[in-house]
Structure 1
Amino acid sequence: MTFSSAPPPTTVDGDGASTISAVHPDVIQTQILNRLDGATLASAACASSHLRGLCNDDTLWRNICTATWPSLHDPRVRHVVSGFPGGHRSLFSDSFPTLHHVDDHPDRSFPTASDHWISAVDLYYRDTPIFSKVIRTETRTGWFGSSPLWIDLLDPNELVPTPLVYARKDEDWMRQRHLEENLSVSWILIDPTRNRAANLSSRKAVSAKRNWFSRDLELVYAVVIACEGRAAREWVQCNIKVTCCGEAGGEMHVREVSLMVEDTEGRNICGEESMVILQRAIENGKRERVKEEEAKAREEKNTDTFNSQTVRYTGKR
């Protein structure tokens, strides 16, 4: 009695790629890879040299980036990203997840100042984008260098509609808690000179409270950045403030989204020093998910008010 031999084992090439190489690349890209999120696509690229080449396709990464951050559709951003070494893949690696602290061996030299920054900002409600905008901030002006850094995303009379109802007084605590959990911000700061970027916003708000004077709801999103080599400071906190307004029971609007950098005592840092700190962090910073509880506790230690003489710097639209 004879027996047929067992089927041959799956063919594997020298670097671990299996017979998936026999599948047409278009099938892999259109039926498999384009359904993956960024983290999974990056992992797939490590499986073999064959997959690495397919996974590095810029169209895949552009679709992932613009789906995650709709603001990246802006032509100004796409022009800058075209100069990144890895295109949209590099942008994703820089911007997801949030910037946090700096590495153990930072470059202590002072980086050459960029002449402008680009901010790509997206607001989300329950992870669904509700507003996107891109602004350019000139950084070579004397006004920027000497004034406390304060970049406003919205124009003075601009209001962003939301799908939320503005809370009545008896619903205050519940509404603040709801906003903390469901209203999120992404603020990607892009350095066109170095072709690098970083996300300066925590995933969720670290504080939510009602302004005692205006009665507007104010949410703060924050990341902490170490200031290696800065004798006067050990770390600073990059804050993004979102201010919501409206009539009780009516539609809630966002009327302010602003970026500032504070020291440990809650004092705003000038544009020149902020630029050095942020540029160094963008180049050397770790990208990891921040512990929101720690960030929130740190924010609560800072002062709640800013210097009344702080001059706002509005980026050029």
Structure 2
Amino acid sequence: MMQWLDYLDADIVPFHILPRLDGETLIVLSCVSTEFRNLIINNQDLMRKICISIWPSLLYRDGIACRIISRFPGSYCSFFSQAFPSIDYYHPFPPPPPRPVTTFVYAIDVFLQGRPFYRDLTMEQVDTTEYPSARKYDHLRKTFELQWYGWGDRKKFFHVKKEGCEEYLKQNMSFSCVVVETKTKCAGSLFHPSTCKPVSVLKETSPIAIDVVFKTFIPAPGLYMEMVKCEVKITCHWEDGKEDRFYMDTIHFTMDDMYGKQLTWWYGSLIISNVIENGVRRKINKKQT
């Protein structure tokens, strides 16, 4: 194929063909030949645009996530390869223990009809190096919970009819959560950006609100149990009851074991660290999206 492309102008492929392809196709194409791999990996501006189009939250808070990703080996191409594929649910053997962790960056995005509805980015200091001692008992008891609020300038309004809103949101809302670990320079999607759809939508009457729930399971062999459940509840409202002022109010993220018991902060952080560093990514293919 590259012999045929040699007949084209040198700028045709990198500046006119590759920018028209999505990130999934580019990663697959980079495996076709060394020439294609060099063209794609060396074009970090191209991969940066692809990543930001999938995860708009990477630009939030002055683009701190982008600065972290730029220090990855392979930069945005490496980040995309880690964050876009689903993390495999099965491991033939227990994975090795995670390396010491300093900071997680949670980049979250909510989409409505494919358009950005809400974005946020949170940095959390964590310590998974040792089991909490007695003097850290409060840290041991603290449950794993993350919350985001859609107040202030971040409030973004959409038009959503109240009648039939449950089915509409179930079909048109999607959620993404990609976690970046700053020390080991790795990343992974807890909620996959292209396949995560609500499992339930519940309409509250007083006050009028909508709870949209997303769930996923991630592996935790050798750490806690074989699987743990991650659940996100997104609560939305109509400001002043107006259908053209539908907005995201809160996002509540928790982790439970398979018996429904909520994980502590230490265990939850340890499992996330392990899964993004050691979890096996599924092969990228068109069927995934």
**Residue range with higher mean Cα deviation, 16-25 or 116-125:** 16-25
Q: CA contact under 8 A between 1:166 and 1:245: conserved in structure 2?
A: no
Q: Aligned match of 1:63 in 36, 46, 49?
A: 49
Match in the other structure for 2:173: 183
Aligned to 1:254: 248
2:235 aligns to what SS in structure 1?
A: strand
Range that drifts further, 88-97 or 137-146 = 137-146
**1:103–1:284 contact (8 Å) kept in structure 2:** no
- Does the C-alpha gap of structure 1 residues 195 and 237 become closer, same or farther in structure 2, counting only changes over 3 Å? same
C-alpha distance 208-144 of structure 1, shift in aligned 2 (>3 A) = farther
Letter in 2 for 1:121: I
Indicate conservation of the 8 Å contact 1:102/1:284, yes or no. no
Counterpart-to-counterpart distance in 2, 1:28 and 1:83 = 26
Aligned-CA RMSD value: 2.6
Judged with a 3 Å threshold, the aligned counterparts in structure 2 of structure 1 residues 21 and 103 are, in CA distance, closer, same or farther, namely farther
Offset of 1:112 from its aligned partner?
3.0
Alignment pair present for 1:220 and 2:213: yes
Contact persistence 1:150–1:259 (CA under 8 A): yes
The one-letter code of the counterpart of 1:69 is W
* Cα distance change on mapping 1:196 and 1:144 into 2, 3 Å: farther
Which letter does structure 2 place at the counterpart of 1:220?
V
In the aligned structure 2, how far is the partner of 1:102 from the partner of 1:271?
23
Q: 1:194 aligns with which of 184, 187, 193?
A: 184
Q: Residue 32 of structure 1: CA displacement?
A: 0.2
Aligned to 2:15: 30
Q: Show the counterpart of 2:142.
A: 147
Q: 1:85 aligns with which of 68, 73, 83?
A: 73
Alignment correspondent of 2:270: 276
C-alpha separation in 1, matches of 2:187 and 2:57: 14
Identical-pair percentage? 24
- Identify unmatched segments of 5+ residues in structure 2: 284-289
- 1:136 corresponding residue in structure 2: 123
Give TM-score scaled by structure 2 length.
0.82
Distance 1:83 1:184, change over 3 A: same
* Cα distance in 2, alignment partners of residues 156 and 249 from structure 1: 17
Q: Quick check: 2:96–2:278 contact (8 Å CA) kept in 1?
A: no
> Which deviates more from structure 2 when the two are superposed, residues 186-195 or residues 133-142?
133-142
Cα deviation, 1:237-259, whole Å, max 9, x if unaligned, reads: 11122111225453222111132
Q: For residues 210 and 90 of structure 1, what CA distance do their matches in structure 2 show? A: 41
Q: Distance in 2 between matches of 1:145 and 1:58?
A: 41
How far apart, in 2, do the equivalents of 1:146 and 1:278 lie? 18
Which residue matches 2:287?
none
Task: Tell whether the 8 Å contact from 2:95 to 2:222 is kept in structure 1 after alignment.
Answer: no
Q: Identify unmatched segments of 5+ residues in structure 1.
A: 1-15, 290-317
For residues 171 and 14 of structure 2, the distance between their equivalents in structure 1, rounded to whole angstroms, comes to 35
1:107 is paired with a residue whose SS is: coil
Partner SS, residue 11 of structure 2 = helix
TM-score after normalising by structure 1? 0.76
Report how far residue 103 of structure 1 moved.
Answer: 3.0
Aligned residue pairs, count? 267
Distance 1:132 1:151, change over 3 A: same
